[in-house]
Amino acid sequence: MSAFPAISSANILAIVASPGQPSAGELHQRFEPHDGSHAGMTIEIRPVTEADLDAIDPRLGSATFFAERRARQRDERGLLLLAWLSGNAVGCVYIAFEEADEAGLREHLPGVPLMHRLLVVSELRNQGIGSSLVTAAEQAVRARGHAQLALGMDIDNFAAERLYLRLGYHQWLHGLLDTYYIVIENGQEVHVPEQCRVLVKTL
Ligand SMILES: CC(C)(COP(=O)(O)OP(=O)(O)OC[C@H]1O[C@@H](n2cnc3c(N)ncnc32)[C@H](O)[C@@H]1OP(=O)(O)O)[C@@H](O)C(=O)NCCC(=O)NCCS
C-alpha cells in the first residue's frame, strides 16, 4: 500500500525564488489540480536547501547526486527544485545553467538552460506533480532572463513525451543528439554513449 495519501484533490504550490533571493509573494504561484478541487494535501515546490539533503527519497537519486547538485546550485550553475508532500521530497527537477557537455547542444542551443532528472515517485504519478515541476522550472528560467528551455529525452520515453508535448515543447530539427549516461565502475564514473531526442520550448 502507498505510504502517501491520494492527492487527487491536492493543491500544488510552487515557490521558485532563486536561492539567496527569497523575495516576494509574486514568486509564489498556485497551480490548480486537474479536477479543479482545492481541498486536500499541499504539494510545495522549492529549491533544495542544505537541510533538505537527508530527507530526499533515495528513489529520486543518490545522496551523492543531490549533494553535488546542491553545490552547483550554490555556485549558481544550476537549480534543483524539489516537490514536497508531508515532509517528504516526492519529485524533483534539475535545471542546468552552465554550458552543455554535448557539442550538438552547444552548437544549436547555445546558452539555453537544460532540464534534467524530472522524476516523481511512482505512487504519486498522474496527479499533476510532474507538470507542475516543469512549470516551476520554466518560471525559474524566465526569472533569470532566458527565453527557452530544453531537455534531452530517451528515444522511447513516450509517457514523458506526452507530458512535454502537452506543455508546449517541440522536437528540435537536428535529429538525435549524441550524449552519454554515467555508470559507476570500481568507484569511477564511466560515460556510456547513447543517443537521445531533444525537445525545446520558447517561453
Ligand atoms: C515523467 C514523469 C515525471 C511525469 O510525472 P507525473 O507527476 O506523472 O506527471 P503529470 O501527472 O503532470 O502528468 C502525467 C499524466 O497524468 C495526467 N494527469 C495530470 N494530473 C492529473 C490529475 N489530477 N488527474 C488525472 N490525471 C492527471 C496528465 O494528463 C498526464 O497524462 P498523459 O500521460 O496522457 O500525458 C513521471 O512519469 C516519472 O517520474 N517518470 C520516470 C522518469 C522520467 O521518465 N522522467 C522524464 C525524463 S525526460
This prediction's pTM: 0.86
With beta carbons less than 8 A apart as the criterion, state whether 140 and 79 touch.
yes
Which residue of 34, 115, 132, 163 sits with most ligand 1 atoms within 8 Å of its CB, as the best mutation to test the pocket? 163
Answer with the residue of higher pLDDT: 89 or 7: 89
Q: Is the CB of 28 under 6 A from ligand 1?
A: no
Interval between CA 77 and ligand 1 midpoint (Å): 27
Q: What is the mean pLDDT of residues 96-113?
A: 96
Q: Rounded to whole angstroms, how far apart are CA atoms 125 and 172? A: 27
Residue 114 predicted with pLDDT over 70: yes
pLDDT of residue 25: 33
Interval between CA 122 and ligand 1 midpoint (Å): 10
pLDDT of residue 195: 95
DSSP sequence for 137-170: HHHHHHHTT-SEEEEEE-TT-HHHHHHHHHTT-E
What is the DSSP pairing of strand 78-85 with strand 148-153? unpaired
Nearest alpha carbon to residue 105 among 168, 202, 203, 199: 199
Q: Is the CB of 37 under 6 A from ligand 1?
A: no
Q: What is the mean pLDDT of residues 63-68?
A: 91
Residue 61 predicted with pLDDT over 80: yes
Residues 6 or more apart in contact with residue 61 via CB below 8 angstroms: 92, 117, 119
pLDDT of residue 17: 53
Q: Is the CB of 125 under 6 A from ligand 1?
A: yes
- pLDDT tens digit sequence for 129-142: 999 999 999 999 99
- Ligand 1 atom 1 nearest Cα: 160
Residue 16 predicted with pLDDT over 80: no
Interval between CA 163 and ligand 1 midpoint (Å): 6
Q: Rounded to whole angstroms, how far apart are CA atoms 137 and 47? A: 10
Cell of 163: 507530458
Interval between CA 83 and ligand 1 midpoint (Å): 14
- pLDDT tens digit sequence for 21-36: 433 333 333 444 444 4
Q: Is the CB of 142 under 6 A from ligand 1?
A: no
pLDDT band at 18 (very low <50, low <70, confident <90, very high): low
Q: Rounded to whole angstroms, how far apart are CA atoms 119 and 112? A: 21
pLDDT of residue 11: 65
Q: What is the mean pLDDT of residues 109-119?
A: 96
Mean pLDDT of the chain: 84
Q: Name the phi and psi angles at 113, rounded to 5.
A: -60, 150
The DSSP 8-state label assigned to residue 51 in this structure reads G
Q: What is the mean pLDDT of residues 46-74?
A: 91
- pLDDT tens digit sequence for 141-174: 999 999 999 999 999 999 899 999 999 999 999 9
Interval between CA 177 and ligand 1 midpoint (Å): 24
> Which domains, ranges and CATH numbers included, belong to the chain?
11-149 (3.40.630.30)
Q: Is the CB of 32 under 6 A from ligand 1?
A: no
Ranked by mean pLDDT, which of 52-56, 113-117, 185-189 comes out on top? Answer: 113-117
